[in-house]
Amino acid sequence: MALETYVRLPGRAPRQAWAHWKAWLPGFNQIWNAARLNLSDALDPFERGGVTLSMRQGIGLIGLLGLLAGFLPLLSQLWLGLRFGAAVPLASLAVDLAGLAHEYGIPALDLVSNNTSLLAGSAARLPGWLAASLSSLGFWINVPLGWLSLWLVYGTAVAGVARLMGAKNQLQPFFAATSLAAVPLVLTGLAPIPLVGPVAVVGGALWAGGVYCLAVRFVTGLDWVRLLLALLLPGIFMMALSLIGLLAVLAGLALA
């Protein structure tokens, strides 16, 4: 009988176990320890000196938590779309413009708001309820997809900078460990709630940043100075690229 029947290697699962939820999600104790910023017990509960979480489990965790975080916004967007009988982006634009027109009282903005509201309520090729439902569903699915994209793109950059600074981390344990940063991000799903939403979003983001920082330190072993550089440099580089792109677009519009 194969050795892996008795010893479960990190990131490995027998083919017949791939359909089981444990092959795609970490244990509750691991999630709870990550939420408490106890990354050593979350990633290495048996104290074997390695990451016992697999990248597959990280993908499943981010996907599930992204869907949970997007559920309340889904209901909010669905209600908004059904109220206008239009796709969510158009209905949301009408509400935002109406709010700005009421706040500042600008005649031109008020005219644009009225026209947008009329456009949102006009007859469409799809029934209003169907357009609202499909667009809301699209926004909901986009939440975990956006989290996964950010996790992979930013994580690749951080892992690369860490390697340049002397870390010996490998990509699979790195991504497996940093996936636990999605646990506090569930709080961002409270965004539609007045007053509580903004506080929950900021708190969840800061909490997730702390988990991510400790996870990167666990798998790379970098000191705090090199760790902060590895975390900040990719973000600064991405912001610089975005700024350059925006300036290029503005320059093109000015010359047109």
Q: Give pLDDT tens digits for 85-118.
A: 656 665 665 555 555 555 555 554 444 444 444 4
Phi, psi of 48, rounded to the nearest 5 degrees = -100, 0
Neighbours of 129 (CB within 10 A): 13
| 164-223 residue pLDDT tens | 998 888 889 999 999 999 999 999 999 989 889 999 999 999 999 999 999 999 999 999
CA 221, CA 139: separation in Å to the nearest integer? 38
Amino acid at 134: L
For residue 102, tell me if it sits in a domain.
no
Q: Say which residue, 13 or 240, is predicted with more confidence.
A: 240
| 117-147 residue pLDDT tens | 444 444 445 566 676 777 778 888 999 999 9
**Cα distance from N-terminal residue to C-terminal residue, the chain:** 72
> 201-235 burial string, b = 16+ CB within 10 Å, else e?
beebeebbeebbbbbbbbbbebeeebbebbbebbe
pLDDT value at residue 112: 46
For residue 116, tell me if it sits in a domain.
no
For residue 200, tell me if it sits in a domain.
yes
Phi, psi of 126, rounded to the nearest 5 degrees = -95, 150
| Structural domain for 179, as ranges | 13-68+143-255
Token digits for 50? 């390695």
Number of domains in the chain: 1
For residue 82, tell me if it sits in a domain.
no
